[in-house]
Amino acid sequence: GQQVMQIPQYQHVQEGEDFTTYCNSSTTLSNIQWYKQRPGGHPVFLIQLVKSGEVKKQKRLTFQFGEAKKNSSLHITATQTTDVGTYFCAGLVSGTYKYIFGTGTRLKVLA
């Protein structure tokens, strides 16, 4: 079946270090969204990428969508303790209304 995998599963960083999570889909995606879920919370939308090769920045966060529209990445520069949480990508399967969430990367930031 269709799968969206993320690596790494966990990442512990010192505050101020950079962090990257990678998202890989087994199928072509119409778009990809990124969400952050704090412990005990619900997913909160960060960004949506639609075009092949698209790059978007939000302050310390940089998002990329691969040329083949099957992979994506999220890079955080100079992490802060407020960045703690699980980051999920969610891909919209082409030709459907179906979003598949990636397996998630849990980020811990040590002060």
Residues in touch with another protein (CB under 8 A): 30-31, 33, 35, 41-45, 48, 88, 90, 92, 96-104, 106
**Residue corresponding to tokens 């990442």:** 11
Separation between Cα atoms, residue 64 and residue 55, nearest integer Å: 4
Give me the amino acid identity at 42. Answer: H
Of the two residues 3 and 80, which places its CB atom closer to another protein in the complex?
A: 3
Residues near 96 by Cβ (< 8 Å), separated by ≥ 6?
none
Of the two residues 58 and 80, which places its CB atom closer to another protein in the complex?
A: 58
Of the two residues 89 and 109, which places its CB atom closer to another protein in the complex?
A: 89
CB of 33 to another protein, least distance (A): 6
CB of 52 to another protein, least distance (A): 16
| C-alpha 67 chain-centroid distance | 16
